[in-house]
Chain A
């Protein structure tokens, strides 16, 4: 998954930047799974460069844009 020359991720987390494009495309083709949905949102946010403020604990779980 991680190219040999990539810098190891100290936290051990899986990061979108380390996921090859063909795997991301495979996720898209697999339908709207929970993982696919999250990956797409991470990519879309990174592409837009915008970060909306996170919800307070007592605020509704989904916001319309």
Chain B
């Protein structure tokens, strides 16, 4: 693990504070992918740890994982946990492994704990057999893509260069036909694409909800088109926001926008991208290794690794790790400038990995700071005007 100040030069996370239990378990059931998207944070970024992982989570690791989650839920009397099946491409693990993980976790938790299972896929491998398994186990399925055919095929291709959109579109059609399985889309923002075109292309797929993700980047590995004096990502997102917000009927949910609106209204966020609500998440690799968050794979090699494993360590031990405590979304963990910023309660410092700087710390504003400020103040203004207009 790379030595780091964990974002708090001169100050360490409060190790005496009570442990915040995990509620969300991002489980890598398969470490490889059938696509080779050129921006992928797992395969095409600074951390290449995937090369040393087993391809599929073994029965032994699944059993250890389920036991750890069960103990954790029992010890902390957790009412509800979120099991996120992830990869690589999790559908490569096949129906039996998917079933084994879900059944093991469900068997391991206390009777009064519920588990919400979701799976994030590239959508190219959804067939009727897998769909039957996902439906039977009440798995909510999210699909990743970048917009319509042209936008998606620009980056999301097979290793031999073949485009993926046609397969994804067919996979989404199957998911849509299976009532209640499809949960929505994750779409990474690409400034090269027209924002309204991207949104409208996504709408044609009739997603129940979607999210627009800022590219995983930081002050060392800057986002495409980054200019500290400009706000290109805010401009892109605002075009979509205005189109979405001004629709007389809500066409779909957009997680980032709805989170900012709800935070502006005094509510809570749905995403760790904004706000000070904690995801309380831990990532489990195919070999059982524990990582803080996958996004740290875009900072420095091994920075997200805790040096712990479900085979050797309890989840309480992981929750006490300084690196986990440093990621807690509390004002004290933000940089000094962010702590006095008037929109910090809405922004929350942005996503943790976006704050990584050349000093190997995270006590920096987000690399998207100006974009977030512009986007949030725009949305706040639009919400304020809309609410006031209702009273006229």
| B7: Cβ under 8 A from any A Cβ | no
| B374: Cβ under 8 A from any A Cβ | no
Which residues of the partner chain A approach B387 to less than 8 Å between Cβ atoms?
A: 1, 14, 19, 23, 35
**Mostly helix, strand, loop or mixed at chain A's interface?**
loop
The smallest beta-carbon distance between B84 and chain A, in angstroms, is: 5
A/B pair count, beta carbons within 8 Å: 178
Contact B277 A51 (CB under 8 A): yes
**CA–CA, A17 and B248, complex, Å:** 24
Query: With contacts A23-B390, A26-B390, A53-B281 known, is A59 near B262, CB below 8 A?
Result: no
Contact A15 B279 (CB under 8 A): no
Interface residues of B, Cβ cutoff 8 Å to A: 23-24, 26, 80, 82, 84, 86, 116, 118-120, 138, 140-142, 180, 183-186, 208-211, 213, 216, 244-245, 247-250, 253, 255, 257-259, 261-262, 264-273, 275, 277-281, 293-295, 342-343, 345-346, 351, 380, 383-384, 386-388, 390-391
**CA–CA, A27 and B389, complex, Å:** 11
- Sample of 11 A–B contacts (CB below 8 Å): A10-B342, A12-B384, A14-B384, A34-B245, A34-B261, A45-B268, A53-B24, A54-B275, A55-B271, A56-B26, A59-B281
Q: Please, which residue of chain B has its CB at the minimum distance from the CB of A17?
A: B266
Q: Please, which residue of chain B has its CB at the minimum distance from the CB of A23?
A: B390
**CA–CA, A45 and B343, complex, Å:** 22
Contact A57 B391 (CB under 8 A): no
Interface residues of A, Cβ cutoff 8 Å to B: 1, 10-17, 19-20, 23, 26-27, 31-39, 41-42, 45-46, 51-65
Contact B281 A56 (CB under 8 A): yes
Contact A63 B257 (CB under 8 A): no
Contact B120 A34 (CB under 8 A): no
Query: With contacts A63-B82, A65-B116 known, is A54 near B271, CB below 8 A?
Result: yes
Q: Please, which residue of chain B has its CB at the minimum distance from the CB of A36?
A: B250
**CA–CA, A53 and B351, complex, Å:** 15
